[in-house]
């Protein structure tokens, strides 16, 4: 790394030496936890403590829900014209744009996200998401019902109430606004429980929300652990809906807690083991680049990672050769370095988990072609890893690794590819690489996944509904389907003047 690059890194790091917000945000104020307890969030690029953050628990969740309930039942947010909610949301989006560099740096420090990508992709996507739903806030309406000769009616779309959002650590900003944006547009109030590994950007967004004019109690943020704060939110009798993104195992607990409390509806976006199916007619350079991004992007910490790469036998050997060449040029290092492709895993727990899966792969007989080891003198960095000769029943082919580990598998026919792609409990996403429209259409209709990308990957947009099949969950986190998830439908019936009802 040259002296000029090092100097730039130091400037970027110096900009974020001060962590501004570490408390809970309840009813428009930053407050200590009732217990006064705190926990440490670490910086994954160094492994050192980044900040001590207030640790919320059941009592704090109770206070936050009480504030959200008051804001919903008696506050102005649900009663504002949609156009006014939209105006305030657009103001929040403007504030995010104004602080994009600071937010991207904060996310790099707290979650190991690449600073450059955060600044030009992640943070701008958050403000775009807000503006998308801000535009929908004044277009929420029901239907006119003709019904019978004696009755007529209409439906009303009403905000569902107090919502609990439980967000993950891999894309803290993105997931925050995938959930908060449609809920705000619908007129809901909410409590956000960010992941304990990366809570800092959520607190910053709460600060900006108040600056934008979102009323007190509408948006509350309670840091804490899943087994305490998260469990209290999921089981709370005064929460009307839970939206959760995380592992399938924790999603089960959230759904169970919701059912055992007040039968609140849940939206669950959970794990994935997505197939990327590459056919003989694919351009190998294009296919290997898509595969590299599908697995190694964000250090593999992405629920839709195309970690099962199926390659048709005609181009398999060339695909392996080119993939190995590209893996060697994939640079792992400091997320503030603009020349780096991959930063550190989020924490020591995830770092050790990924390395344990590498050992599983070797023990079960998969061929380690490259990577599989830690790198760097400090921090939680792992080399991009490629296994060949992977069988469908191996642990690395069945379980979500959430790290930079690619499993290569050879196939012969379209039928075989479809069958093996569907041989998983998950169904979040899938990718297809082919020049044949018939093949693309056939496979996209046959693969059981909530999103299918053809000759692209990670092609997200605010307008495209995002959610899974099978044990990847249900409900949507983008598009108009997401907005509908925060609305109740009420039927209003009236008799016609000369009907027998009068």
Active-site positions read 269
Here the tokens at position 499 are: 């009907």
Tell me how long the chain is. 502
Instruction: Give the integer Cα–Cα distance in Å for 19 and 171.
Output: 19
Contact 479, 178 (CB under 8 A): no
Instruction: Give the integer Cα–Cα distance in Å for 138 and 80.
Output: 10
Any residues with CB less than 8 A from the CB of 172 and at least 6 apart, and which?
107, 110, 111, 194, 195, 198, 199, 200, 201, 202
Strands annotated E in 139-274: 144-145, 151-159, 162-166, 189-193, 219-221, 241-245, 266-269
Contact 25, 56 (CB under 8 A): no
Here the tokens at position 410 are: 């050879």
The closest alpha carbon to 109, from 189, 16, 33, belongs to 16
Radius of gyration for the alpha carbons in the chain, expressed in angstroms and rounded: 24
* H or E element that contains 43: strand 38-43
């Amino acid at each position: 790394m040259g002296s000029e690059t090092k100097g730039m890194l130091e400037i970027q790091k110096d900009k974020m030496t001060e962590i501004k917000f570490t408390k809970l945000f309840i009813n428009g104020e930053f407050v200590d936890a009732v217990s006064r307890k705190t926990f440490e969030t670490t910086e994954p690029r160094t492994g050192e403590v980044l900040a001590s953050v207030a640790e919320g628990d059941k009592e704090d969740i109770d206070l936050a829900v009480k504030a959200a309930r008051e804001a919903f039942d008696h506050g102005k947010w649900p009663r504002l014209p949609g156009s006014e909610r939209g105006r305030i949301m657009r103001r929040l989006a403007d504030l995010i744009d104004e602080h994009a560099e600071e937010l991207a740096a904060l996310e790099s420090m707290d979650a190991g996200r690449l600073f450059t990508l955060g600044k030009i992709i992640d943070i701008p996507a958050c403000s775009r998401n807000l503006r998308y739903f801000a535009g929908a806030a004044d277009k929420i309406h029901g239907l006119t019902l003709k019904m019978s000769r004696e009755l007529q009616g209409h439906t009303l779309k009403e905000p569902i109430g107090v919502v609990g959002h439980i967000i993950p650590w891999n894309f803290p900003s993105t997931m925050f606004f995938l959930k908060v944006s449609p809920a705000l547009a619908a007129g809901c109030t909410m409590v956000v429980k960010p992941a304990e590994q990366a809570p800092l950007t959520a607190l910053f967004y709460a600060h900006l929300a108040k600056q934008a004019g979102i009323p007190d109690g509408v948006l509350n943020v309670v840091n804490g652990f899943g087994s305490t704060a998260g469990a209290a939110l999921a089981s709370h009798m005064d929460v009307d809906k839970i939206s959760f993104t995380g592992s399938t195992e924790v999603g089960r607990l959230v759904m169970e807690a919701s059912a055992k409390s007040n039968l609140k509806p849940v939206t669950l976006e959970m794990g994935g083991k997505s197939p990327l199916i590459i056919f003989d007619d694919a351009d190998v350079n294009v296919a290997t680049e898509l595969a590299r991004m599908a697995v190694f992007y964000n250090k593999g910490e992405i629920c839709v990672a195309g970690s099962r790469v199926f390659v048709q036998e005609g181009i398999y050997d060339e695909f392996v050769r080119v993939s190995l060449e590209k893996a060697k040029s994939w640079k792992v290092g400091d997320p503030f370095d603009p020349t780096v492709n991959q930063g550190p895993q989020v924490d020591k727990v995830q770092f050790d988990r990924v390395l344990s899966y590498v050992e599983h792969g070797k023990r079960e007989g998969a061929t380690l072609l490259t990577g599989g080891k830690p790198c760097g003198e400090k921090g939680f960095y792992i080399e991009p890893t490629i296994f060949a000769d992977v069988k469908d029943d191996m642990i690395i082919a069945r379980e979500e690794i959430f790290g930079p580990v690619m499993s290569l598998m050879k196939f012969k026919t379209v039928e075989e590819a479809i069958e093996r792609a569907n041989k998983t409990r998950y169904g979040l996403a899938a990718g297809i690489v082919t020049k044949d429209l018939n093949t693309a259409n056939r496979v996209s209709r046959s693969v059981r996944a909530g999103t299918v990308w053809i000759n692209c990957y990670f092609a997200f947009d605010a307008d495209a509904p995002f959610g899974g099949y099978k044990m990847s969950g249900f409900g949507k986190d983008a598009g108009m389907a997401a907005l509908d998830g925060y609305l109740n439908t009420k039927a209003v019936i009236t008799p016609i003047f000369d009907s027998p009802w009068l």
